[in-house]
Amino acid sequence: MTAPLVTVFGSLHYDIMVEAPDRPRKGETVTGHAWQPKCGGKGGNQAVSAARAGVRSAMIGAVGDDDFGRALVGNLARRGVDSRFVRVAPGAGSGMSVAIFDAGGDYGAVIVSGSNLTLGENDIVAATEMVAQTAVLLLQNEVPEAANIAAARAVKAHGGRVVLNAAPARKLSGELIALTDIVIVNAIEAEFLAGVAVVDTLEGAAEAARMLIDFYPAAIVTAGGEGVAYCGRDGQAFERAALPVKVVSTHGAGDEFVGAFAAGLARGHRVEAALAAANAAAALLVATPERQREAI
């Protein structure tokens, strides 16, 4: 039998990561002490995470005809991700971001989407054979919604499952919601989508997940160092505390969680087992310095 496949349809960004004592306020200049480049984008990160979890992982995306784009595609290949359907978009620069990390390991970031905004139904058609083999499709909100809808529709037609990491938060159409099997959001995104005031505890995450199943068949709400909550329309609901680790950097933790969770689903694991594996993968990542993460 063919090994299960996780296909990620989404964003690729070349990240510039800056380390500083704190993140600047409006109008403020802060003196940093180090910077480094990193290949990312929520889509790229999640594809790498799924591959690291040991399943077949493929990426459908777009980069510019530039050094950033070549680095992004090369990184996917090195990390075991099938990048045959990452297209070079003529006349568009590759997506990129700048992330500023404070002394506590938290960060703020600005993204420039670039070539990611050129993704559309033609990219799905070009990858028809891969789409037909997909067990789990991962989507995010860093590409046009119409493109996400086309990808979800195609994968569902072949019996695959659709997991939407609704990040960054934005209003979603009823059509995309109807195509989504599981939505995954962090505390900030849960506040936006569920309309709750603050999600800063595990109990708050569980309440937000319960509210989200009014729209989605199942919802996962991550609450950072507090843990994760799950709720499904089938009546299953539970919370899991985060694993206790010394946090070095939270950058990419959500994407690591999502990719590892999708890998578990693709293997046919129950949701609870897939979440446990995702929790462990995210804990390992946040405890690992950025310069050592490729060795995980």
Q: Pick the residue with more confidence: 291 or 212?
A: 212
Position 195 confidence tier, pLDDT thresholds 50, 70, 90: confident
Question: Does 41 count as an annotated binding residue?
Answer: yes
- All residues at 6 or more sequence positions from 71 whose CB lies less than 8 Å from its CB, including other chains: 14, 37, 39
Location of structure tokens 């569920």: 194
User: Known binder of ligand: residue 43?
Assistant: yes
Please give the positions annotated as active site.
255
Q: Which two tokens stand for residue 196?
A: 């709750």
**How large a percentage of the chain has pLDDT more than 70?**
99
123 is in an annotated binding site: no
Residue at token pair 């993968």: 281
What are 124-166's pLDDT values in tens digits? 999 999 999 999 999 999 999 999 999 999 999 999 999 999 9
pLDDT at residue 225 in the model: 86
190 is in an annotated binding site: no
Domains of the chain: 41-87+119-180+243-291 (3.40.1190.20)
Give the pLDDT confidence score for residue 59 in this predicted structure. 98
Distance in angstroms (rounded) separating the CA atoms of residues 289 and 259: 19
- Is 251 marked as a binding-site residue? yes
Is 91 annotated in some ligand binding site? no
Q: What is the pLDDT of residues 206-221, one digit of tens each?
A: 999 999 999 999 999 9
Q: Show Cβ contacts of residue 56 under 8 Å, excluding neighbours closer than 6 positions.
A: 3, 4, 5, 6, 82
pLDDT range class, residue 252, cuts 50, 70, 90 = confident
